[in-house]
Amino acid sequence: MAKSLGNFEPIFGKVNAEWDKPCSVALLPFMFHVHVFNATSIRIHVTDFHSYTFESIRSLSQLEDLKDDIGIGGNWSDFMDYLRASMNSDQVKLILDSPIHPVGHRDVPLAKFIAQKSKGMPVFSISLVGLVNSSASDAIANLSIGIFTAFQREHNLVIKEQTRAYQLTNLISAEQEKNEIIQKELDAVLNPKRRKAEISSPDKAFPFSDPLRNSDSVTLSEIISPAEKPFAKDSFTTKVSQRVVPAYRRAKVRGALVQDSDDEKDN
């Protein structure tokens, strides 16, 4: 893969600085900015916005030498990914050369920018040179503009994502309203059919309750009991037989016939 810096995005970060030797001068927090410079190199600016500002420029060939020095295997893209990951980690240091006359002396010519991806991983170190006067002011201005540009880009991305999320939320709400309308229409169509089905088949609708039939059967069984049925039948049969052939008529006929027969014999 050909060496290129075309996809290298600016890197910003905060770094704690320390002296390489004990020194009574207190240090402020530093910010660093790594970006592409002249399309064929990267530039590193480190500043505390007050007393100390440093710079380093590394060409493609110098970065290739750095890759070999720290022993990063793989291709160029793997090395650049490791470089970026190391600068974005919390394992970044700035080591300043202690001044010869520390009291009131701000002229620190050299520093080292040290970073590694994580503990136990390869460490790389880049030498920095101190900037003064207008060069330091330009570096601070460049870093400030870079931070603002990065913030604006991230802010626009957030606004775009929020707008997209808002549109998706409205779309989901509209779909839910459509579903509710469709459900109401289905209920309006299906409920009358269910009521008709219940009316046409009451036994199925109420399989365990038939109050009229049960009450009728109980009433008949209470009125016409098995003990009373034979009695009612015998009484009805006796009445019918008495009406058809009265007993007293049969006796008179027999007596008359017997009497007439005796008279005929005497004569």
How high does pLDDT run on average in the chain?
Answer: 77
135 pLDDT above the threshold of 50: yes
Q: Judge whether residue 225 has pLDDT over 90.
A: no
**Mean local confidence (pLDDT), 218-223:** 48
- pLDDT higher than threshold 90 for residue 5: no
When pLDDT is averaged across residues 241-250 and rounded to a whole number, the result is 50
Q: What is the mean pLDDT of residues 129-156?
A: 91
Q: What are the tens digits of pLDDT across the range 22-43?
A: 888 888 999 999 999 888 899 9
Instruction: Dump pLDDT digits (tens) for 161-191.
Output: 999 899 999 999 989 989 989 888 888 887 7
Q: E strands, 75-166, where?
A: 92-96, 110-116, 123-130
* 105 has pLDDT over 80: no
The predicted structure's pLDDT at residue 23: 82
Lowest average pLDDT, out of 37-41, 152-156, 173-177, 218-222, goes to 218-222
Residue 261 has pLDDT above 50, yes or no: no
Q: Which of 139, 108, 145, 137 is nearest to 44 (CA)?
A: 139
CA nearest neighbour of 82 among 122, 30, 141, 138: 122
Q: H helices then E strands: how many in the chain? A: 7, 7
CATH class, range 11-131: mainly beta
